Amino acid sequence: MQLYRQVLALPGVRTLLVLIFFARLPSTAAGMILTLHVAVSMGRGYGAAGTVGAVATIGIALGAPVMGRVVDRYGLRRMLVITSVGEATFWLVARFLPFTLLLVCAFVGGLLVLPAMSIGRQAIAALVPDDLRRSAYSMDTVSTELSFMIGPAAAVLVCTQFSTQTAMLAMAVGLVLVGVLLYVVNPAVRSAEEKAAAAEVPRRSWLTPRMISVLVIGAGAVFVLGGTEVAIVAHVQWSGDLDWTGVVVAVWAAGSAVGGLVYGALRRSIPQVVLMACLGALTIPVGLAGDWWMLMLALIPAAALCAPTVAATAEEVARLAPPAVRGLATGLQSSAFTLGQAAGAPAVGFVVDHASPAWGFALAGVGGLAVAAVAGLLAARRRELAESPA
């Protein structure tokens, strides 16, 4: 625990971690609120709800790098004003929109989503020295797991006990509060030395094949996670244990959190491609489990690698991106995660519908292995070129 104590002793880190935890909660609840609003309150069904979610996801993937670039050029506060006003307006107006207009506004709302995860990663890179970043990013990833355990559950509670319109109003209020808090605290996204040395950096100097492979592995990791989530729900429904879904998902998330804490305490990094390969390989056989408790136990080994793989991606992006473009780089990382989620869930859902939950887990794991194999081959090829005589 010594490494974690050193991280928490750094000025501003504790405040940052607490603030970013609460800043993530609205984004983790947003998908559930939109789904219930379209499928239940509007009576359009889950297919239409999935369409709205997909449109919003495209907007988020496109908007994250743009907002990161705004931070790089104009500072964090300028971006906070844009996203806080834009998102709050969306949630205030969306309650009254018909389906067609909601589709259009969901895309615009996605473009203006507050990139809380990117802000947290940039601030960690600015506040934490290189030798402690692994521990800091692991803590950040564990915090993300906790946000995803609380946010959707709170969204369901408000939607079912009150209404989806009330939940959407609460989202607008919560986003304004988060924006105001971040504006007041104004966490540093560059250190004083980095600000003094800031200059325009050519994109080709940092958006290299190495950086691209890091982003691809990040997308692959979230492909596995998104697919696993769908397969879990399908498996417990198939086995007649749907009431135990929350317990299985909670244990899965807890296993990921423990794995993240262990990874953050390591003195040396584990190569990102190794983590990705192990995550994929351990996911493939999970579907062979029977009842819900067997599934829960089978998930633990793969769960322990979820947070480390995501944390390793953040660590590599911070190492490879110059401070002057860190906002853009972390925005691209967020886009990679978003696209991985957007690909994993429907792909595994399709397989589950046409085969079985076991094949859903298999597809998620094989997808992770394929990404790891491609990244490994590219890394080997780069080493060969670097070692070959001119």
- 1-187 and 201-385, same CATH topology: yes
Identity of residue 148: F
| pTM (global) more than 0.85 | no
pLDDT for 193 equals: 66
Rounded Cα distance between 333 and 65, Å, is 8
- Could you give the maximum distance between any two Cα atoms of the chain, in Å? 69
Domain 201-385 - what CATH class?
mainly alpha
pLDDT for 51 equals: 79
Domain 1-187 - what CATH class?
mainly alpha
pLDDT for 78 equals: 93
pLDDT for 46 equals: 65
3-state percent helix, strand, coil for the chain, nearest multiple of 5? 85, 0, 15
Digitized pLDDT (tens) for each residue of the chain, 390 residues in all: 788 889 999 988 999 999 999 999 998 888 888 878 888 888 887 667 777 877 888 898 889 899 988 988 888 999 999 999 999 999 999 999 999 999 999 999 999 999 888 888 889 988 888 888 888 888 888 888 788 778 877 888 888 889 989 999 999 999 999 999 999 999 988 776 666 555 667 887 888 888 888 999 999 998 998 888 888 878 887 888 777 877 888 888 889 889 988 988 887 878 889 999 999 999 999 989 888 889 999 999 999 999 899 888 888 898 888 888 888 888 899 889 888 888 887 888 888 888 888 999 999 999 999 999 988 887 776 666 566 554
CB 164 within 8 A of CB 40: yes
pLDDT for 285 equals: 94
**HEC readout, 31-99:** HHHHHHHHHHHCCCHHHHHHHHHHHHHHHHHHHHHHHHHHHHHHCHHHHHHHHHHHHHHHHHHHCCCCH
Of the candidates 344, 339, 365, 205, the residue with the CA atom closest to the CA atom of residue 276: 365
Rounded Cα distance between 200 and 198, Å, is 7
pLDDT for 40 equals: 80
The domain segmentation of the chain, as residue ranges, is: 1-187, 201-385
